[in-house]
Amino acid sequence: MIIQTFPTMFLFPAAEPHMELCQWWRHIVVFLLNAWIPSCFAQTTPPAHSSPTPTPQTAEGPETLKFRLSGFPRKHNEGRIEVFYKGEWGTICDDDFSLANAHVLCRQLGFVSATGWAHSAKYGKGTGKIWLDNVQCSGSERSVSVCKSRGWGNSDCTHDEDAGVICKDERLPGYVDSNVLVDENKVEEVRLRPVFTIATKRMPVTEGVVEVKNKDGWAQICDNGWTPKNSRVVCGMMGFPHEKKVNKNFYKLYAERQKNHFLVHSVACLGTEVHLAACPLEFNYGNATESCPGGMPAVVSCVPGPLYAQSTAMRKKLKMQSTVRLKGGAKYGEGRVEVLKGSEWGTICDDRWNLLSASVVCRELGFGSAKEALTGARMGQGLGPIYMNEVQCTGHERSLWNCRYKNITTEDCKHTEDASLRCNVPYMGYEKTVRILGGRSRYEGRVEVLRTETNGTLRWGLICGEGWGTEEAMVVCRQLGLGYANHGLQETWYWDSSNVTEMVMSGVKCTGDEMSLSQCQHHRTVNCQKAAARFSAGVICSETASDLVLNAPLVQQTTYIEDRPLHMLYCAAEEDCLSKSAAKANWPYGHRRLLRFSSQIHNIGRADFRPKAGRHSWVWHACHGHYHSMDIFTHYDLMSANGTKVAEGHKASFCLEDTDCDEGVSKRYECANFGEQGITVGCWDLYRHDIDCQWIDITDVKPGNYILQVVINPNYEVAESDFTNNAMKCNCKYDGHRIWVHNCHIGDAFSEEAEKKFEKYPGQFNNQIS
């Protein structure tokens, strides 16, 4: 028997009874007026005192403290601790810092407690004031302002000593963040209950009776005075962008045969709210079965977005070219917000970014209202221009471009302030058909899928590991809501902890974009050469991932041709960096014609890029004098306009290290002396144009117009939050003596129309033969 589950939105009661009134009014102001009101938990602080000895700080004075987590790489519950005092953000020094301090700070950030802390600017160096030093808390204080310290603004530290905290990923009951969907104390859950028989068997549920949950169970809302604005709010909660009219005749007959329990008898939404609980509600405290005279339960019908339309015709009708997109998210309906201006994509700054503006983006993309408006590049940093700042939407706009905003000046924003969001998406029940078991945590394990037998019974089975890789693991991690795919494993003998031993699925091939494994290609009947359970597929998921991108302008600036004598290319031949025709050359006489350029690879994600292979399997390259941790890290290719390779290309292996970093970020990886390899978030690895093998051998290429393409991490060996920005393309014109390179750009930086026409753009002269 399959139990139908309805879409729900969870809400939690306030934490402390004595603060309920304060929290309630704050919720109302935040939701209805879109204004920030200081938390009821906020503490006031006294003027700064200079004292070499730690002294207790009192909670008196006009100042209100605010706290935030900053820096990278980090998750949402960790980072450099920053405090807002006297109108300025500043940091806290790590001198005398302890877990007790972190407990107090995490509670002020809205988390239940701390699990650790970090010293020496692990999350990068902050800027501005260092507000506190030698902080000594016992751990039970309500505010860091009452802990002992040297006094506000009195410090002998530098930003190299900025402290960070790691908080337990559990919110304090009743905690309110105006940019995160929060709860009200009268409604705990909302759902659409389908009535039609056919509707109960379809996912997602788009039409039904609106029901709310309280301590007594599920109850209905009286439809007296019910408006399309109310329906719009409910549909947004359920993950749908729009509402439509309902044929009430059937539902009226249905309601007359049911015993209804009306908890809410009046709702008056404006249509811009992100949750029904944000609307003015009147609750019934009398006879719940008779509190809707002449009315019936409220019924809502929603229009699904293109991804969730139930017919191909509807999907085509709803699908359109959008001027906004989401990048870097692990799931559909979340990511960094990017907008199209002219033909180039760019980001928006997070100043004044809120749920109203985020909801406009969500609905424009075919999702529901927003449940989180995220700041501080929480979904990774973007590239290119930043188009908008201080976006202010009313909530009724059809496009983000219709909202009020300011144009960016060079001083306004950096990509560390890119705005992102999470939308309400329709509940599809995908997580019920797959599970992972046997791992050390819920983020890893052997993959098992639920299959329907010919007799209609359900059973769990394994997936054949042959051909299983990162793309398939991406789908499983997304389907289970576990973030990004770290690894796709073809053997899982070390996780054999289940009595499920039979292979029920094989030949799985995904693109990585699917919402469920059932949408991937696979064999109709199981065909697995290694059918033992130890060879079943497994995954390791992660909450964060790296994101590598090539510096396209640098490629354009540094490209040139060199005729290099063969007697200088013995090492390159050994490293397989030349075309096959080089083997037939008259060594050591003659030369090879090389297309040279620099590669600067940035990590703009939220986790360090680390090679998949362990140190024990790294290969020593005597010619280069270091270990290579990845056999194929980049593909260098020269192609004709139709995509045919005209040069054999070069599959370059790298030693990965931090050549340089953004301001405030410290290097962590270095190739020398068998050091750890990788690329830190905010750092880049530079392979200069003049080092060995940094080229494409074009000796056999005839004059013509070509495309230079560089692809990073081409085999998806290492997890990234976004693989669409791993390719870079340039137009090339080669006349047999000189080369012109122009319009170098990341593969997804321009619109589809511009990408199709990019080879026709006028070029610029680069370098001739050296």
Tell me 533's DSSP state. G
Q: Chain centroid to CA 43: how far?
A: 33
Tell me 155's DSSP state. -
Specify the amino acid at residue 405: Y
Kind and range of the H or E element at 767? strand 765-768
Q: How far apart are CA 662 and CA 377, in angstroms?
A: 15
412 and 347 Cβ atoms separated by less than 8 Å: no
538 and 492 Cβ atoms separated by less than 8 Å: yes
Q: How far apart are CA 471 and CA 16, in angstroms?
A: 46
Query: Strand ranges (DSSP E) for 227-284?
Result: 242-244, 262-267, 281-283
Q: What is the C-alpha R_g of the chain? A: 29
pLDDT at 37: 37
Kind and range of the H or E element at 255? helix 248-256
Query: Strand ranges (DSSP E) for 42-120?
Result: 44-45, 55-56, 63-64, 66-70, 78-85, 88-92, 114-118
Give the position of tokens 């060996």: 717
pLDDT at 290: 62
Tell me 46's DSSP state. P
Q: Chain centroid to CA 167: how far?
A: 20
Q: How far apart are CA 442 and CA 453, in angstroms?
A: 28
Rounded to 5°, the CA angle 728-374-399 comes to 75
Helix, strand, or coil (residue 267): strand
Residues 91-142 have pLDDT tens digits of: 999 999 999 999 999 999 999 999 989 888 888 888 889 999 999 999 999 9
Query: In this structure, what are the phi and psi dihedrals at residue 69, rounded to the nearest 5 degrees?
Result: -105, 130
Q: Chain centroid to CA 608: how far?
A: 15
Helix, strand, or coil (residue 239): coil
Q: How far apart are CA 515 and CA 529, in angstroms?
A: 28
Query: Strand ranges (DSSP E) for 490-629?
Result: 503-505, 538-542, 548-550, 560-565, 591-596, 599-603, 619-621, 626-628
Compute mean pLDDT per 10 residues along the chain, 770 residues long, and list them.
40 38 40 38 33 39 74 79 91 94 94 90 87 94 94 92 91 70 58 79 88 82 92 96 89 79 87 90 69 84 89 54 90 95 92 94 96 89 92 94 87 87 94 92 93 86 93 95 92 81 92 93 89 90 92 94 91 83 86 93 91 72 67 87 82 80 87 84 91 89 94 89 92 92 89 67 36
Kind and range of the H or E element at 29? helix 20-33
Domains defined along the chain, listed by start: 40-167 (3.10.250.10), 312-423 (3.10.250.10), 430-542 (3.10.250.10), 548-768 (no CATH)
Give the tokens for residue 29.
């102001």
Give the tokens for residue 69.
């987590």
Specify the amino acid at residue 514: E
107 and 15 Cβ atoms separated by less than 8 Å: no
Residues 10-68 have pLDDT tens digits of: 333 333 344 443 444 344 333 333 333 333 333 333 333 333 334 444 333 445 788 98
pLDDT at 235: 96
Q: How far apart are CA 744 and CA 322, in angstroms?
A: 24
Q: How far apart are CA 334 and CA 332, in angstroms?
A: 6
Sheet holding 683-687: strands in order across? 548-550, 599-603, 683-687, 660-661
pLDDT at 626: 65
Kind and range of the H or E element at 360? helix 355-364
Specify the amino acid at residue 703: P
- Partnered with residue 338 across adjacent β-strands are 325, 347
Q: How far apart are CA 294 and CA 290, in angstroms?
A: 10
Which among 632, 633, 636, 631 has a CA at the least distance from the CA of 648?
636
Kind and range of the H or E element at 107? helix 99-108
